Amino acid sequence: MKKKFLRIFLVLGVTLFVSVFQSCDKQHAKDLSGIYNCQVHYLYWDMMPTNKDTTYNEKLEVLQDGKYINVLNYKIHIDSLWNGKEYYTGYIHDFFKVKFTNDSLYATRSSGGLGGNASWTYKGNK
């Protein structure tokens, strides 16, 4: 009888812990999602030489998808986005990085290679 009670208690405790832990992740993703009013710095160069350097404003929508958020078409698991931690994927000229701090977003998307490069740097608040 004691073993059965202990087993039931253990199963309920683990189930409760897992459900609370998962809901915290979803809540954190929900907190990050929303519309950010961003200032975007666009920089382009190539070997011709062509150079473009401009700054403009854009509303950036960050969407929640369960335990993931979608930023500029990059699906990121919420565990990769602690407050103030930078998420990075890619390599040298082709990369994406994003960081959330309080209600602010900082992101850079870059693509290119040896012949040229384009990058967009986003800085914004909810």
pLDDT of residue 16: 41
**Confidence label for 1 from pLDDT (cuts 50, 70 and 90):** low
Q: Which domain holds residue 6?
A: 2-125
| Residue 67: burial class (beta carbons within 10 Å; 0-12, 13-18, 19+) | middle
How does pLDDT run across 82-123, given as a tens digit for each residue?
777 899 999 988 999 999 998 999 999 999 988 899 999 999
The helix or strand, by DSSP H or E, that contains position 50, with its residue range, turns out to be: none
State how many domains the chain has: 1
pLDDT of residue 22: 39
Distance (Å) of CA 71 to CA 2, 87, 104: 51, 11, 13
**DSSP 3-state assignment of 117?**
strand
How does pLDDT run across 5-50, given as a tens digit for each residue?
556 555 555 444 444 343 454 556 678 999 999 999 999 999 999 9
Give every strand in the sheet of 51-65, ordered side by side: 74-77, 68-71, 51-65, 34-46, 116-125, 104-113, 94-101, 86-91
Cα 99 from Cα 81, distance rounded (Å):
7
Structure tokens belonging to residue 59: 């509303």
Residue 68 clears pLDDT 80, i.e. is over it: yes
16 or 67: which carries more pLDDT confidence? 67
**Confidence label for 71 from pLDDT (cuts 50, 70 and 90):** very high
